[in-house]
């Protein structure tokens, strides 16, 4: 299909009519790519009934006319459902943002005709720059620890951690981002189901916490259950929303590699964490490294490579150097200060308190939380050290 730019949200239209039309189109099951492309051409509900519109759209998109007519006919039949959908969303505290709205994320414009026509959002969609962190659902202790380490440090620097809310690497990244900055770190979860669906099962509490300190995002209508083909569709949003992607623990055939390839296609940087050559779950990251991905060995080193444009947007960051940004990030919370101190080797609580100029009871409380999180370990002699990576 031919590429055309996504509208910028400033065109004058009957907003209610356009919103209802796009929501109706988004309710249609079928060729997701064609649905997204058609959405960018629709201006009124009347066009759903227009034979001329169908012919012109099919021609410009180089799509079969019968498929275009089928989708438009289905959308016309869902206009009433669209009104109900919008009311349900409002009652449930969910914002519906269409691609013609000014709140629509500019980064998604890079998807061209594949930009989703409708987003369901719970939380704050307007967020600082984000970095996408993805990886295996079946991550081992190493993968989970690395994901937690990177997410916490990057979130402490003011970045929004974007991931897909799946078990394993995704949820480890979300939770650790939330723990940064004394529990005020921000994260965004992109879902492969309706925003009101409890998936993965038993994750409602985490989802609510994410909505308070970031947002939940999906293009799938209310009540839509997760399906295997939803997740590759979801991955393009993860790739587009982040200015870069970090891959941790990914097999040769995995959704994480799909996200990485999509990010590269969009001109984003891709980082990958190396792992054991004996592990299947490291094979995907190693393939990316072989093909030119940037090795991710330390989150502070990643911060040093941030583009100037990203640095300028981070909270408290636009001083004169990257080092000043790192110092601001390091001081963002006691948790992050302590983790940095432990990178120099094992310490007693008293040594840490002296180095950080904090009271011993407070340091002990922070160490206890980090021990529960699996980030530090207590050894003989009351020495604490980072868990081995």
What pLDDT is recorded for position 137?
Answer: 92
What pLDDT is recorded for position 341?
Answer: 85
Tokens of 334: 């006691």
The C-alpha atoms of residue 269 and residue 244 are separated, in whole angstroms, by 5
H or E segment to which residue 387 belongs? none
What pLDDT is recorded for position 77?
Answer: 96
Q: Which residues lie below 8 Å from residue 267, measured CB to CB, with a gap of 6+?
A: 110
What is the reported pTM? 0.80
Q: Which residues lie below 8 Å from residue 223, measured CB to CB, with a gap of 6+?
A: 194, 196, 197
DSSP, collapsed to helix, strand or coil, labels residue 230 as helix
Closest Cα to residue 170, out of 54, 49, 256? 256
For the chain, give every residue range classified as CATH 1.10.10.10: 333-386
Query: CATH topology for 333-386?
Result: Arc Repressor Mutant, subunit A (1.10.10)
Q: What's the burial of 261, exposed, middle or buried (CB within 10 Å: 0-12/13-18/19+)?
A: middle
What pLDDT is recorded for position 281?
Answer: 87
H or E segment to which residue 329 belongs? helix 322-330
| Residue written as token pair 């013609």 | 100
Domain 130-304 has CATH 3.40.50.450: yes
CA torsion sign, 82 to 224 to 266 to 156?
Answer: positive
What pLDDT is recorded for position 161?
Answer: 97
For the chain, give every residue range classified as CATH 3.40.50.450: 130-304
What pLDDT is recorded for position 389?
Answer: 46
Q: Along the 389 residues of the chain, how does pLDDT read in single tens digits? A: 544 445 544 444 457 889 999 999 999 999 999 999 999 999 889 999 999 999 999 999 999 999 999 999 999 999 999 999 999 999 999 999 999 999 999 999 999 999 999 999 999 998 789 999 999 998 888 899 999 999 999 998 899 999 999 999 999 999 999 988 778 889 999 999 999 999 999 999 999 999 999 999 999 999 999 999 999 999 999 999 999 999 998 988 889 999 999 999 999 999 999 998 888 889 999 999 999 999 999 998 888 888 888 888 875 443 333 343 444 443 345 777 888 888 888 888 888 888 888 888 888 888 887 776 667 888 876 788 887 54
What pLDDT is recorded for position 356?
Answer: 87
What pLDDT is recorded for position 362?
Answer: 81
Neighbours of 4 (CB within 10 A): 13
Q: Which residues lie below 8 Å from residue 328, measured CB to CB, with a gap of 6+?
A: 157, 316, 317, 319
């Amino acid at each position: 299909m031919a590429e055309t730019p996504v509208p910028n949200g400033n065109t004058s239209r009957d907003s209610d009519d356009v919103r209802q039309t796009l929501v109706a189109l988004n309710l249609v099951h079928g060729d997701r790519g064609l649905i997204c492309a058609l959405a960018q051409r629709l201006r009124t509900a009347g066009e759903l009934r227009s034979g001329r519109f169908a012919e012109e759209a099919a021609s410009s998109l180089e799509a079969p006319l019968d498929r275009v007519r089928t989708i438009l006919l289905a959308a016309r039949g869902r206009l009433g459902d669209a009104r109900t959908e919008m009311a349900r969303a409002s009652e449930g505290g969910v914002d519906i943002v269409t691609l013609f709205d000014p709140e629509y994320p500019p980064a998604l414009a890079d998807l061209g005709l594949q930009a989703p026509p409708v987003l369901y959002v719970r939380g704050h969609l307007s967020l600082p720059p984000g970095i996408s962190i993805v990886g295996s659902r079946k991550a081992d202790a190493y993968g989970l620890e690395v994901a937690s380490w990177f997410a916490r440090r990057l979130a402490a620097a003011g970045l929004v951690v974007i991931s897909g809310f799946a078990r394993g690497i995704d949820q480890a990244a979300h939770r650790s981002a939330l723990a940064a900055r004394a529990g005020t770190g921000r994260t965004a979860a992109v879902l492969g189901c309706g925003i009101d669906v409890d998936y993965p099962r038993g994750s409602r509490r985490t989802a609510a916490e994410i909505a308070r300190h970031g947002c939940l995002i999906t293009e799938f209508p209310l009540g839509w259950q997760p399906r295997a083909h939803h997740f590759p569709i979801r991955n393009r949003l993860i790739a587009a929303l982040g200015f870069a992607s970090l891959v941790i623990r990914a097999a040769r055939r995995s959704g994480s590699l799909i996200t990485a390839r999509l990010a590269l296609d969009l001109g984003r940087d891709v980082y990958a964490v190396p792992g054991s050559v004996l592990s299947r779950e490291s094979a995907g990251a190693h393939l990316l490294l072989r093909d030119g991905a940037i090795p991710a060995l330390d989150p502070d080193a990643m911060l040093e490579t941030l583009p100037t444009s990203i640095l300028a947007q981070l909270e408290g960051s636009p001083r004169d150097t990257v080092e000043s940004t790192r110092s601001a990030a390091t001081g963002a919370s006691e948790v992050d200060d302590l983790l940095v101190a432990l990178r120099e080797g094992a310490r007693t609580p008293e040594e840490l308190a002296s180095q950080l100029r904090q009271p011993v009871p407070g340091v002990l409380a922070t160490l206890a939380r980090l021990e529960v999180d699996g980030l530090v370990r207590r050894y003989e002699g009351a020495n604490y050290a980072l868990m081995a990576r």
